[in-house]
Structure 1
Amino acid sequence: MPGKIIAIGRNYVSHGGDIELPKVPEPFFKTPSSVVGPNDPIVIPREAIEEGVLVEEEAELTLVIGKQCRRATQENALDFVLGVTCGNDVSARNWQRGDLSWWRAKSSDTFSPIGPYIVTGLDPDNLLLTGRINGEVIQQSGTDDLAHNCRRIIEFVSSVLTLEPGDVIMTGTPGEPGEIKRGDVVEVELEGVGVLSNPVIAEE
């Protein structure tokens, strides 16, 4: 279980639309208790169903930190990365827009699927990322479309706080995420890593 999950908002050129992209990375936290693994269900909370909340997938390149890191530079930032994997920053949009913070929109139990493997030796800024719902491609982009690349993200985050081994950074999502509902199967595929697959169920 990671000690910290740091996610980066509005970090793909294709996801920004007409909105001006942030001049620096925009991190937020997700709770470790929201993590699930491959083939574990994404559980839509009972309250989200009762309130008609829109829940969406977000396919993301995810970095896994391998060494303690404080004040990395862009030149040495990747030296602190153990490897890369797939992540899904599941998001409850009505709560994200309506609450003062994103705590339940982004950190409900099961809202952070991660896996299936941590792969070393890949260039994280030159990989193909794909998100699918029931086999249909919803999102697809090269990670070279990141507004702030992985080196810059690590440099910025580690200038504020210490990254520890096992911490993960979800680096942002491209294009337009898709709505997920009970009965769906969501996949995140990252070139060189494999496919993270999770069924979607409703909380009883």
Structure 2
Amino acid sequence: MTVDVSDADQVDRAVEEVVRERGRLDVVVHAAGVDDPEAKQWIADALLDERPPDVLTRLDGAAWQRVMRVNLDGTFHVLRAALRVMAPHRSGAIVTVGSSSAFDAPPGYPHYAASKAGAHALSQAVAKEAIAFGVRVNTVAPGPTDTGMAARTPAALRQDLADPRVRPYATAGEIADVALFLASDEAVNLVGAVLLANGGRFTV
């Protein structure tokens, strides 16, 4: 199915359809997210000109809201829809995909970093509520990862994010492995965790 996670009705319908077909919902990995290509280009231009990025003063409300609607509102919609059907069964695992940007808040990413930090806090707050109903909620927070979104990153910015002292960009499969672990019975004692998967770029 194609689902716009910023639309609560679409999310609810998708979950209802899964339950109709399968009878229950056991695992949800919420990996939908967006960045801001225009802001990324501004950062890349600043790097090439050897000047600090100027993003916030140029950022309009529409760009801010787009990132918040998908990254933060979308996380709320998915968590709510999943918990509504998992809680009665007293079991389930939900994994949200956040970002290391929520911690290091790189310059030029105010809306992206804020949306992911909000998604982390939301997931942790819901985790404390959901575990009473047998549902575990955890988050994986990737660093730079080779995805379609990363492929659209301007070359200058992509090069700036590369660091020979740490692992290169993660593959999508490597991040998926972390999500699968968090959803598995091996992670039964992890509740409200935010696992950094950033190749050693920093720790918290």
Query: What's the TM-score once normalised by structure 2's chain length?
Result: 0.27
Query: What's the TM-score once normalised by structure 1's chain length?
Result: 0.27
Higher relative contact order (CA 8 A, sep 6+): 1
